[in-house]
């Protein structure tokens, strides 16, 4: 499967298809499994993975059998497809590919399209009560957009994947708003001057009731909720989740008690096995992995750095080759400089074909006045940083989801 089908997360643009028709054809061939379970659809530039995991955890605590589809995976492909937190069995993956191999070839399906088919087929066979489905990229043309959900959620909009989704916030919002369905309520996580009119116009056109989470919840409203996800930015995601639960209570027969809500938030990692979001992978010095890889994510990550007591900050950075990495690295440095910590840089690269060679990254960094040792793999970079850092320093691994995946594999 990995050898024969292109994966966007590994090779980039060559694997991207701006066409939902192959997925529609695949669903027909599979007997339309997407119609055999209820769903919630989650899009957005940042936070959509965390929001998806929070909702799945809450619904599990409410007693429902819950499917969860997310992407990309960090260590094991099967992380993408879970029921009640448990990954799809290897045997189910093998059987699905074996039984549908010819159909994949006939429809010229991408890796992501095939994985969506596998997920929806598995959820239908497992008879889940509800599935939480995270959009892969954008929304309008994303393969997941064949579902007709109980609720659509768009967390926020930032400049990411601009080569596919557009180079302005308005254009990206239009693509994300493609998940808004006729008559289906939609929750927007963050009010933004550029994007809110886009969402309001499309929601009105599709008679979809629309609410903005940040107009109903402020930080004080959510301060009494605890969660295993410790990043300060999770408060925005929790606000989106609280509004989403409120809409589900109002518009569906789902029974989500206050206890289920509280327990679901507090046990999200235990219930769904989410990784890579401000995750501790070492102590003395404290060593944190964070998947932030664009400007909104970095800005949110900054709060975690500020709120974590430390002396010096050791930053292990690596990225992929199809991002505007020079701008992102400059922005990261500017944001981290705000903390007042002495910065130590270590450069590395993710072990995927899209990984930017560490030499090229370090050369660009030098032009910005940033210098540090280079490591061809993140394990060596982490070992070097931890051996150099004092016990009260902070080691931060960031820059790419795939660098974090490498760190978690060590």
Report CA torsion sign: 156, 160, 161, 162: positive
Of 398, 44, 67, the C-alpha closest to 231 is 398
According to the model, what pLDDT value does residue 159 have?
Answer: 67
According to the model, what pLDDT value does residue 396 have?
Answer: 97
Of 247, 135, 236, 132, the C-alpha closest to 192 is 236
Six-digit token string for 174: 């239009």
CATH of 8-272, one of 3.40.1190.10, 3.40.30.10, 3.10.20.30, 3.30.43.10: 3.40.1190.10
Report CA torsion sign: 70, 228, 161, 287: negative
Q: Is 408 helix (H, G, I), strand (E, B) or coil?
A: helix
Pairing of strands 81-83, 86-87: antiparallel
According to the model, what pLDDT value does residue 181 have?
Answer: 97
Instruction: Cis check for the bond before 285: say yes or no (omega within 30 of 0).
Output: yes
Of 182, 134, 130, the C-alpha closest to 155 is 134
Q: Domain 279-409, CATH 3.90.190.20 — does that match?
A: yes
According to the model, what pLDDT value does residue 160 have?
Answer: 58
Q: Where are the CATH 3.40.1190.10 domain residues in the chain?
A: 8-272
What is the full per-residue pLDDT of the chain (410 aa) written as tens digits?
555 444 544 444 444 556 799 999 999 999 999 999 999 999 998 899 999 999 999 999 999 999 999 998 888 899 999 999 999 999 999 999 999 999 998 998 888 999 999 999 999 999 999 999 999 988 898 999 999 999 999 999 886 555 556 578 989 999 999 999 999 999 999 999 999 999 999 999 999 999 999 999 877 778 789 888 866 778 899 999 999 999 999 999 999 999 999 999 999 999 999 888 888 999 999 999 998 877 878 888 888 899 899 999 999 999 998 878 999 999 999 999 999 999 999 999 999 888 999 999 999 999 999 999 999 999 999 999 999 999 999 999 999 888 999 999 86
Cα-based torsion angle of the residue sequence 133, 138, 140, 146 in order, rounded to the nearest 10 degrees: -20
Q: Which helix (H) or strand (E) holds 87?
A: strand 86-87
Question: What's the first-to-final CA gap in the chain, in angstroms?
Answer: 24
According to the model, what pLDDT value does residue 2 have?
Answer: 54
Q: Where are the CATH 3.90.190.20 domain residues in the chain?
A: 279-409
According to the model, what pLDDT value does residue 293 have?
Answer: 76
Of 1, 269, 50, 8, the C-alpha closest to 136 is 8
């Amino acid at each position: 499967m990995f050898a024969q089908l292109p994966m966007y997360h590994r090779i980039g643009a060559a694997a991207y298809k701006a066409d939902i028709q192959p997925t529609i054809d695949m669903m027909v061939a599979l007997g339309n499994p997407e119609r055999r379970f209820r769903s919630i659809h989650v899009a957005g530039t940042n936070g959509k993975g965390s929001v998806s995991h929070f909702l799945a955890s809450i619904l599990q605590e409410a007693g429902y059998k819950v499917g969860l589809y997310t992407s990309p995976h960090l260590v094991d492909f099967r992380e993408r497809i879970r029921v009640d937190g448990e990954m799809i069995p290897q045997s189910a993956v093998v059987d699905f590919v074996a039984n549908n191999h010819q159909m994949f070839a006939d429809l010229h399906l991408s890796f992501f399209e095939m994985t969506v088919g596998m997920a929806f087929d598995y959820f239908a066979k497992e008879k889940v009560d509800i599935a939480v489905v995270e959009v892969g990229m954008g929304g309008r043309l994303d393969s997941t957009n064949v579902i007709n959900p109980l609720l659509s959620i768009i967390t926020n909009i930032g400049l990411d994947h601009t080569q596919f989704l557009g180079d302005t916030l308005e254009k990206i919002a239009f693509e994300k708003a493609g998940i808004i369905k006729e008559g289906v309520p939609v929750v927007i996580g963050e009010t933004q001057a550029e994007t809110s009119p886009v969402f309001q116009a499309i929601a009105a056109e599709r008679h979809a009731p629309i609410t903005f989470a940040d107009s109903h919840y402020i930080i004080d409203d959510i301060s009494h909720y605890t969660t295993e996800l410790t990043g300060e930015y999770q408060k925005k995601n929790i606000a989106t989740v609280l509004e989403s639960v409120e809409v589900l209570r109002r518009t569906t027969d789902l029974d989500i008690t206050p206890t289920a809500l509280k327990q679901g938030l507090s046990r999200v990692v235990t219930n769904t096995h989410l990784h890579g979001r401000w995750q501790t992978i070492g102590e003395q010095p404290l060593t944190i992995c964070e998947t932030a890889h664009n400007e909104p994510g970095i800005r949110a990550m900054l709060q975690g750095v500020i709120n974590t007591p430390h002396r010096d900050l050791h930053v292990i950075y690596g990225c992929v080759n199809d991002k505007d990495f020079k701008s992102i690295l400059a922005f990261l440095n500017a944001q981290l400089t705000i903390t007042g910590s002495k910065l130590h840089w270590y450069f590395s690269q993710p072990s995927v074909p899209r990984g930017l060679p560490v030499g090229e990254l370090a050369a660009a960094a030098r032009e910005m006045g940033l210098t540090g040792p280079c490591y061809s793999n993140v394990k060596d970079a982490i070992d070097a940083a931890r051996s150099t850092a004092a016990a009260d320093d902070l080691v931060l691994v960031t820059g790419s989801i795939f660098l974090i995946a490498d760190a978690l594999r060590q």
